[in-house]
């Protein structure tokens, strides 16, 4: 699995609209092949800073999603709400531990 972390600086006052569009995008991403999960984070020190954490089976799955018409539409909407270029970094998932539906732990380890 691969995780992309994207840091975004929003224009002052654009936070609510940006969050709504990103929520729509992440809901649509759930239906994409290779989507594992994602989080949208708001800085506790800078209310107009967001971090997007998206985990995909492969980087190619993420790239394929970028050709989807809904992705392109939300990209146009989001571009006008940011005050600086996004910063991206890729990470290979070594260990993924989440609470499973039955309340237990469901670890995912990268095989060697």
Stated pTM of the model: 0.83
Query: Domains of the chain, with CATH numbers?
Result: 2-109 (3.30.70.100)
According to DSSP, the β-strands at 95-99 and 49-56 are unpaired
Check residue 111 and give its pLDDT: 52
Distance CA 70, CA 28 (A): 8
Check residue 99 and give its pLDDT: 83
11/68: higher pLDDT: 11
DSSP alpha helix (H) spans, 1-112: 15-29, 59-65, 69-79
Distance CA 19, CA 69 (A): 19
Check residue 70 and give its pLDDT: 87
Query: Could you tell me if 11 and 48 are in contact, meaning their C-beta atoms sit under 8 angstroms apart?
Result: yes
Q: What percent of the chain has pLDDT over 70?
A: 89
Phi/psi of residue 35, nearest 5 degrees: -65, 130
Q: Is the pLDDT of residue 67 over 60?
A: yes
Check residue 110 and give its pLDDT: 59
Check residue 90 and give its pLDDT: 98
């Amino acid at each position: 699995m691969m995780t992309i972390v994207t840091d975004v600086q929003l224009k002052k006052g654009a936070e609510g609209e940006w969050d709504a569009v990103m929520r729509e995008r992440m809901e649509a991403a759930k239906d994409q092949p290779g989507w594992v999960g994602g989080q949208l984070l708001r800085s506790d020190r800078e209310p107009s800073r967001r971090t997007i954490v998206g985990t995909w089976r492969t980087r190619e799955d993420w790239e394929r999603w970028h050709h989807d018409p809904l992705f392109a539409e939300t990209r146009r909407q989001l571009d006008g709400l940011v005050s600086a270029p996004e910063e991206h970094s890729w990470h290979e998932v070594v260990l993924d531990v989440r609470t499973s539906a039955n309340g237990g732990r469901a670890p995912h380890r990268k095989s060697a």
